Amino acid sequence: MKKIGKIVIVVALSLLLLSCFQKDVTYESSITSIEVYDWVETKLIQTIEDEGMIKQLQQSLEDASTYSTANLDYPLPPYKLVFKDDEERVFSIGYYDEVVNLNGKGQFLDVQNDLLYGLEFSIF
């Protein structure tokens, strides 16, 4: 009986640890727009309000593989995407207009969490 209890505890702790390593780009609120900013000048370039494009990008980010950029020296992306629910900022991510190779290939960089999303997606 003690053996089963230990196994249950080990499995529960393993599941808990695995959940800590999951990337989370799912949102409690719905995204109504994505604002595209110049990273350096912080100037608003474009606002995306196309619901289909927003949903497609969200799903693509959720499904994408991620690569750690923690120990890499890399140029910041030229653009910052801010996902919004009406006027509330929900999530932001860097965007390269061309595919970059930083331990993996992609265009979307989560600078705060040191993750490159293995996703090619044109927003322009």
Which residue did the predictor score with more confidence, 103 or 28?
103
Residues 100/73, Cβ–Cβ less than 8 Å: no
**Is 46 inside a domain boundary?**
yes
Give the domain extent around 65. Answer: 24-117
**Is 95 inside a domain boundary?**
yes
- Cα-to-chain-centroid distance, residue 25: 5
Q: What is the pTM of this model?
A: 0.76
**Is 105 inside a domain boundary?**
yes
**Is 90 inside a domain boundary?**
yes
As for how many domains the chain has, the answer is: 1
pLDDT greater than 70 at residue 94: yes
Cα dihedral sign, 124-35-62-93: positive
**Is 13 inside a domain boundary?**
no
**Is 10 inside a domain boundary?**
no
Residues 79/36, Cβ–Cβ less than 8 Å: yes
The CA-based angle 107-48-104, given to 5 degrees, is 10
What confidence category does residue 86 fall into, taking pLDDT thresholds of 50, 70 and 90?
very high
